[in-house]
Amino acid sequence: MSALADRFGMAIDRVRTYDRTLIIVALVLFAAGILFSMAASPAATARIRIEEAFYFAARQTAYAALGLLVMMSAAALEPKQVRRAGTILVAICLPLAALAAVFGAEIKGAQRWFDFGVASFQPSEILKPALIVVWAWMLSESMKKPGFPGRIVSIGLMALAAAALLAQPDVGQTALLLICLAPMLMLSGIALRWLLGGGALAALGAWAIYSFYPHARERVDTWLNPEGDAAYQVNRALDAIAAGGVFGRGPGEGVIKRSLPDAHADFVFAVAAEEFGLIASLGLIAVFSCSRFADCRARAA
């Protein structure tokens, strides 16, 4: 009992070290996500013929609660436990990401998810933060111990992750991981020639993806020339943002969301802008900015 009491006391002491500002900002974003899901859910469920009008809002609430639990649990871990957890998750999710490209459910031309009926699982979403933890560990060890192959391990893991993700294909996640790893390598003191060589390889890879992945090429061409059917969703989202004006149409009064694909997912910001207006949109961006400021302040402390 005394050992259990000691562990509980240590957990309480660690809770007291949490950055309260960052937690408050996270809770505000959780609440905003649920509110915006409630605004988008009825139109989305009607379009895909789901009887429960607030199905997506209920799912968002459940995932937010789970995310809050995971966030608080991760914050309670010691640095050694974080490194161990990151390594275990990479060892599990990297092979799963590769398997998803073969056995995953196909959604809009990509195989990224394992569908279990009542729930689905995307390994790459867990792989991303786990990889960053392992990279930070490996690169810090390479800085402490000259000769330690931390950079080689990090680049090798990136290559394996890129192969698994591009096989799905998931170009966006691959690019995001590269954008994360590049500054980490710079901060670890990698030689300039290696950095320039990596930049050249990245540019070559971008050209190859544009040339051999029709979906990626279509996205780039649509961004460069936002006209025609390929840009329909983006243009409708812009129409929704413009229709919201300064103060918005009001909660539940959005119109364009009824014809906006993925209004409950990737384009929920457009729904929020139409119903709550420019002021709320800027407020949401400000909250995200506060989260980054609080995170940087916590790291500096």
| 82 and 217 assigned to the same domain | yes
**Burial class, 134, CB count within 10 angstroms (exposed 0-12 / middle 13-18 / buried 19+):** buried
Domain's final residue, options 180, 201, 224: 224
Residue 164 and residue 133 in one domain = yes
Strand ranges of the sheet holding 105-107, from the earlier edge strand across to the other edge: 105-107, 110-115, 120-121
- Residue ending a domain, choose from 193, 224, 255: 224
Tell me which of 224, 256, 272 is where a domain ends. Answer: 224
Q: Are residues 209 and 243 in the same domain?
A: no
Q: What percent of the chain has pLDDT over 70?
A: 90
- Domain co-membership, 89 together with 72: no
Residue 7, pLDDT score: 67
pLDDT band at 292 (very low <50, low <70, confident <90, very high): low
Mean pLDDT along residues 204-210: 87
Q: What pLDDT band is residue 138 in, cutting at 50, 70 and 90?
A: very high
Is there a single domain that holds both residue 93 and residue 103?
A: yes
Amino acid at 134: V
Number of domains in the chain: 2
What is the pLDDT averaged over residues 106-121? 77
| Sequence-separated contacts (24+) of 46-49 with Cβ below 8 Å | 46/258, 47/258
| DSSP notation for 77-106 | S-HHHHHHHHHHHHHHHHHHHHHHHHHSEE
Asked if residue 210 and residue 170 are part of one domain, the reply reads yes
Domain identity same for 111 and 195: yes
Please give the structure tokens belonging to residue 16: 């007291």
Longest dimension (CA), the chain: 69
Residue 190 shares a structural domain with residue 293: no
Domain that holds residue 249: 1-76+226-301
Residues 131 and 197 in one domain: yes
Q: What is the pLDDT of residues 171-192, one digit of tens each?
A: 888 988 999 998 898 888 888 8
CA pair distance 100, 112, nearest whole angstrom: 5
pLDDT at position 228 over 70: no
pLDDT in tens, 71-104: 888 887 888 889 999 999 999 999 999 998 888 7
Query: Measured between alpha carbons, how far is 150 from 249 in angstroms, rounded to an integer?
Result: 53
194 and 105 in a common domain: yes
* pLDDT tens per residue, range 231-272: 778 888 888 888 888 888 888 788 888 877 777 878 888 888
Give the C-alpha separation, 11 to 13, whole Å: 5
Are 264 and 40 within 8 A, CB to CB?
Answer: yes
Q: Are 184 and 234 members of one domain?
A: no
Q: What is the 3-state secondary structure (H, E, C) of 261-284?
A: CCCCCCCHHHHHHHHHHHHHHHHH
Do 140 and 249 lie in one domain? The reply is no
Q: pTM surpassing 0.95? A: no
CA 180 to CA 134: how far, in whole Å? 12
